Amino acid sequence: MLIVSTFLICSLIIALGVVLGLKIYKDDNQNKNTICEGHYRYAAVASDAGPPCSTIGTDMMARRGGSVVDASIATLLCQCIHNFHSCGIGGGFFMTVYERSKRAAYTILAREMAPREANETMYVGRSSTEGGLAVGIPGEIRGLWEAHQVGGKLPWKDLLQPTIKLLKEGYTVGIPVAIAMAAQTEVVKRQQGLKDLITNPQTGKFYLMKALMLFIMGTLTKDIVADIRDAGGIITEEDLAGYTAPTKDPLVIKLNKNETIYSSILPSSGVVYQFILNILDGYKLSTDSVSTKEKEILTWHRIIEAFKFAYAKRTSLGDGDAEDDAFRRELDELVQNMTSETYAEDIRSQISDSQTFGTNYYGPTFYDDVTTGTAHLSVLAPNGDAVSVTSTINLYFGSKVVGSRTGIIFNNEMDDFSTPNTVNSFGIPASPANFIKPGKRPLSSMCPSIVVNSDGMVNIVVGASGGSKITTSTALVTALTQWLGMGIKEAIDHRRLHHQLLPAHIDVEKGFPQYILDGLIRLGHNITLKDSAGCVVQGILQQQEGVVTANSDYRKHGHPDGY
């Protein structure tokens, strides 16, 4: 067996010092060189887990004749047992699927949902991050089942078998899980279930279930509800039975008169990602935009300004499906504006090339909290189809609730909602668009996206994990590859900048060129250095037919595969 005790690794990291462990996770050139860019002709898989997961996805397509959706499901199941601190069957996801033969795309909305007993003020004086009350109705398995019904070719059980095999035989625990456990030492001590999870036979039995309904309405329903209720939660059997993961049209925008971008819809941040690119599109960025130091500083300044305007609009976004008609109309109008060329032109006219401005200049109406976590997967199939999917249980180990009956780590997605009558440190009130309502899904930073050229060929499959930085990191990698001439590895490895308007500073990954930072400071920007980018990107780039490159971010030790 290849089982390596999670606690053994965790203890080793603690003994060496958590700081050393984190440096291993984030270290620069050495880690960059250990993750090779994959070069393929037909298909590729880029996951943020170890080699077995991307290989499983490749095998589904190359050896078994599976679809891009089959490969994505099989890989994601593997990914979420390798990185069980970030995603899993107790969470949910957004998935964007492109079908080349139809020149069309769709999205699966498997975001967790507020239970029927939830209300706006339920977290006043209570924790929204730990315990059963923090758990939203899980959507992972329902969503994967729905994706399989729409786009799967292979039998459902065939997609589960590789992960079942890993669970039965054991596998090496990766550095990201070990570090997450080191960072959550007290939680690990409290939760005996965490250390047993990857070798728990019950988990394997769960994956052996042949039908979704055994999860939603069958024999596991009572156990799931009991697990959550034991921890103080309010989810009922009716909540599980009533949960849906609908297939919907994606958010679509055309750029440069040539590129079409398909992204997940609200309550994801697909529209925020597209708005950033919509603003930048008008600058006609190219390799010339970074050909001198002065031009490079200006380009990064414009990127940061686009981030700030986009995050100002984010504060008014939320899930309209659970709201009244008036709210939905306002939300639809905002989304239409953010994806329109004329609105982006108006925003560009407000961007000064000679200075930045204070927070109020960008027009935030409210504020919303953003958190960390998640896992991402990008897949390109030999027939030209593609999937971009981001999955999460929210914070490390979600709600910290591990079901004593099911072994499931449950999400703490309810923490992504806003709470009324609260203000942040800048005096800005919480966003009503993201207040809790029964059946509502919380706003997310996830934005799995696919960029297609005028011939219908996929240019890039991209997405990220890492809280609020998901959206800016995904936009950066897209801009660097589509406009600024970088390959996929160079773009993903590149040092990152992030600005979410509040707090009023740029988060800068250490190692970012100092002359650019000096230039940004001269323009009035505040700089805060960070040890890490705080976000990991998985991408596949296809600049011409038969030339496919894939890269998994070295920051999380993922590995691509393909053929």
pLDDT of residue 137: 98
Whole-angstrom Cα Rg for the chain: 22
Bind-site residues: 111, 392-394, 416, 444-445, 467
What domain count does the chain have? 1
The answer to whether residue 374 is catalytic is yes
Which of these, 440, 446, 317, 441, lies nearest to 391 by C-alpha position? 446
Asked whether residue 338 is assigned to any structural domain, the reply reads yes
373 lies in a domain? no
Bond prior to 267 in cis (omega within 30° of 0): yes
Tokens read off for 376: 């991402």
CA–CA dist 229, 410 (Å, integer): 12
CB neighbour class for 34 (10 Å; exposed up to 12, middle 13-18, buried from 19): exposed
State the Cα–Cα distance between residues 77 and 375, nearest whole angstrom.
Answer: 11
Q: What is the model's pLDDT at position 47? A: 97
pLDDT of residue 312: 96
Residue ranges of the annotated binding site for L-glutamate are: 111, 392-394, 416, 444-445, 467
| 54: Cα separation from own chain's centroid | 17
Count the Cβ atoms, other than its own, within 10 Å of residue 547. Answer: 11
Contacts (Cβ under 8 Å, ≥6 apart) of 171: 2, 3, 50, 52, 81, 82, 198
Any idea how long the chain is?
563
Helical spans, DSSP H, in 372-468: none
Question: What pLDDT is recorded for position 34?
Answer: 61
31 close to 342: Cβ distance less than 8 angstroms: no
The 3-state DSSP class for residue 165 equals: helix
CATH number at residue 298: 3.60.20.40
Whether 123 is in a domain gets the answer no
- Domain that residue 350 falls in: 251-357+447-562
Domain assignment of residue 162, yes or no: no
Question: Looking at the domain assignment, is residue 85 inside a domain?
Answer: no
Q: Which entry of 75, 374, 474, 481 is annotated as an active-site residue?
A: 374
Q: What is the pLDDT of residue 208?
A: 43
Per-residue pLDDT of the chain (563 residues; tens, 9 = 90+): 333 333 333 333 332 232 222 233 334 555 666 667 999 999 999 999 978 999 999 999 999 999 999 999 999 999 998 898 999 999 999 999 999 999 999 999 999 999 999 999 999 888 899 999 999 999 999 999 999 999 999 999 899 889 888 877 877 777 888 778 777 777 777 766 666 654 455 555 554 443 334 444 456 888 899 999 999 999 999 999 999 999 999 999 999 878 999 999 999 999 999 999 999 999 999 999 999 999 999 999 999 999 999 999 999 999 999 899 999 999 999 999 999 999 999 999 999 999 999 999 999 888 766 555 689 999 999 999 999 999 999 998 999 998 888 888 999 999 999 988 876 555 667 888 999 999 999 999 999 999 999 999 999 999 999 888 999 999 999 999 999 999 999 999 999 999 999 899 999 999 999 999 999 999 999 999 999 999 999 999 999 999 999 999 999 989 999 99
What per-residue confidence (pLDDT) applies to 333?
A: 98
Which has the closest alpha carbon to 560: 526, 527, 537, 530?
Answer: 537
- Taking the C-alpha atoms of residue 471 and residue 475, their distance in angstroms, rounded to an integer, is 6
Whether 422 is covered by a domain: the verdict is no
Cβ pair 413, 87 in contact under 8 A: no
Residue 378 maps to a domain: no
Rounded to the nearest 10 degrees, the angle between the axes of helix 156-169 and helix 140-151 is: 140
Residue 497 backbone phi and psi in degrees, to 5: -115, 150
Answer yes or no: is 130 within a domain: no
Number of H-type helices and E-type strands within the chain: 21, 17
pTM of this structure: 0.92
What is the Cα–Cα distance from 146 to 265, expressed in whole angstroms? 17
pLDDT of residue 51: 83
Structure tokens at 521: 């400071």
Tell me the one-letter amino acid at 491: A
